[in-house]
Every structure is written in structure tokens, then in C-alpha cells.
Amino acid sequence: MARTLTTADRLAIHELIGLYGHLIDQRAFARLHEIFTPDAVFDLTGYGGDIYHGLEAIIELMEQSHEHPLAHHATNIVVEKVIGETARVISKGLGVGHQGRVGSVVYRDELLNNNGVWRIRSRAVSLRSREDTQS
């Protein structure tokens, strides 16, 4: 059943999306339990990658990847739908690379509220390109 989010819920969701970028940029991968549920799915197929199942697999991916942008910036955060304790959220991200190159992605997240704490249960990342703007 659909429900209305409180202002506190919306703020917590926005802060969760923002915290992801800070933790990745700080390489604080051991803190990713603050972002993802233990059974989270991280889908990078829209970015040319694979699908990772579970928090441990996500942490291992992050620890082994040496291609992270220097800075992740979350923007345009919109809660699209809420059913029960699940929220569907879409946002955009800007990544600044080591040589100053900038890229844009779209995050499609499913969040779960467990006892008042929001976490990402599923995240799909798609790389934005010029073709995305053509109709």
C-alpha cells in the first residue's frame, strides 16, 4: 500500500544518497553497511559491468576497483514511488576523474526502511551519453 513519506524520511533518503558519494570518495568501504542492506544488489550492467549480490560482494568490488572517480556528486534526487516500507528513488551523479574528465550517471534505487532506517536494497547505475538526449 502506498504511503506518504514524512519530512524526516525524505531528509534521511537524501542524506543516504549523498553519504554514498562521501564514503566512496573517502574509500571508507567498511562503512558501506550504512548505505546498503546485507542482501543488496548493485547492478552495473548499464555501465558496462556486472551485477553484484550482497554487501560483501559490493565491498569487494569497491576495494578491488582502481578506476573510481576522485569525486562523486549526487544530484536531482527524486522519490518516485513509495509502497509500504519500500521507496523507489532516481538520482543523477557526476563523477570527476583523475585527469579532470567528468561523467554523468543515473542511479535507480530501491530503498528499504527497516525500523526507521533507510538503506539501499538495489542500485542500478547507467552511464549517460549524448545518445540519451536524442529523441
Using one digit for the tens of pLDDT, what is the confidence trace for 44-57? 999 889 999 999 99
Asked if residue 1 belongs to a domain, the reply is no
Cα of 33 vs its chain's centroid, Å: 13
Asked if residue 117 belongs to a domain, the reply is yes
Asked if residue 126 belongs to a domain, the reply is yes
User: pLDDT tens across 120-134, in order?
Assistant: 999 999 987 666 655
| Cα–Cα dist 72/95, whole Å | 5
**DSSP letter string, the chain:** -B-PPPHHHHHHHHHHHHHHHHHHHTT-GGGGGGTEEEEEEEEEEETT--EEESHHHHHHHHHH-----SEEEEEEEEEEEEETTEEEEEEEEEEE-TTS-EEEEEEEEEEEEETTEEEEEEEEEEE--GGGG--
Asked if residue 108 belongs to a domain, the reply is yes
User: pLDDT tens across 1-35, in order?
Assistant: 677 899 999 999 999 999 999 999 999 999 999 99
User: pLDDT tens across 54-73, in order?
Assistant: 999 999 999 998 777 888 99
* pLDDT of res. 133: 59
Number of folded domains that form the chain: 1
| pTM for this predicted structure | 0.91
Asked if residue 33 belongs to a domain, the reply is yes
| Mean pLDDT for the chain overall | 92
**CATH number for the domain including 99?**
3.10.450.50
* pLDDT of res. 98: 75
Count of other CB atoms within 10 angstroms of residue 79? 17
Asked if residue 20 belongs to a domain, the reply is yes
Full residue range of the structural domain in which residue 80 is found: 7-133
Cα of 99 vs its chain's centroid, Å: 24
